[in-house]
Amino acid sequence: MANSFFEFKQFTIQQDSCAMKIGTDAVLLGAWSSFDKENGNCRILDIGTGTGILAIMAAQKNPTATVDAVEIDHEAFLQAKENIGNSPWKDNIHIAECDISDFSTTQKYDYILSNPPYFEKSLKSPDAQRSVARHTDTLSFDKLASSIKRLLNDEGKAYIILPAEAEDSMCSAAINHNLYLSHKANIITKDGQKAKRVIIVLRHNTSTYTEENITVRNSDGSYTEQYVKMTADFYVKL
């Protein structure tokens, strides 16, 4: 059983009321993503915030940014609200309980983050809350792409982490909404293995495509220098 909380260097995440617990995916996305620290008016949106971890990590990385988070599940919303309220950046982060399709704002975002549900046609859990967190029924790739198209500013970037096998589905949805893949990070769990996760960067306009590999563990099971350096500002210890 997962712990009821997860302690980071500058904040603690309570997770007993959330279907999806803290995992490597969220930490990777939050640690890898880059937010312009020189832009004091930087606006960041976390779609499907869950425990609130990505919104809080974004605020830690850019303390001058305005961070908004959206969550449809009531229990997760309450937990994220608690975690945000207990964080050093509680005044920078605002959370809304709603479907992303119903979320409106007067200003668009410089960056959008999402660690979305990704099971499209698999057997669902009897736990309704866990199904919402893991399956695309309430946040389909098409809805996510449509929301990014609507909410991302002209020069903005959307960062999404997915299983490698879901990349094509998400990118197809993005293309349907005139969004373009500008960068991909292949997440390799252990040196020598194939990538099991990818982080994709979507933009409104076509640009030069780039790609990189991120390896989490060496062949002996120890964490790579690359992963340790990337997560050093967050993990208490590795």
Mutual orientation of helices 53-61 and 74-85 as an angle, nearest 10°?
30
CA 185 to chain centroid: 14
For the stretch 10-66, pLDDT in tens is 999 999 888 888 889 999 999 999 998 666 689 999 999 999 999 999 999 999 999
Classify strands 197-203 and 210-217 as parallel, antiparallel or unpaired: unpaired
pLDDT of residue 124: 43
**In angstroms, rounded to a whole number, what is the distance separating the alpha carbons of residues 221 and 229?**
17
Predicted confidence band of residue 133 (pLDDT cuts 50, 70, 90) = very low
Residue 44, beta-bridge partner list: 67, 111
* pLDDT per position as a tens digit, 95-111: 999 999 999 999 999 99
Residue 151 has pLDDT above 90, yes or no: yes
Only one residue has tokens 């997760």, namely 76
Enumerate domains of the chain plus CATH numbers: 22-231 (3.40.50.150)
Query: Rounded to an integer, what distance in angstroms lies between the CA atom of residue 238 and that of residue 235?
Result: 7
* Tens-place pLDDT, residues 190-233: 999 999 999 999 999 988 999 999 999 999 999 999 999 999 99
State the Cα–Cα distance between residues 152 and 229, nearest whole angstrom: 29
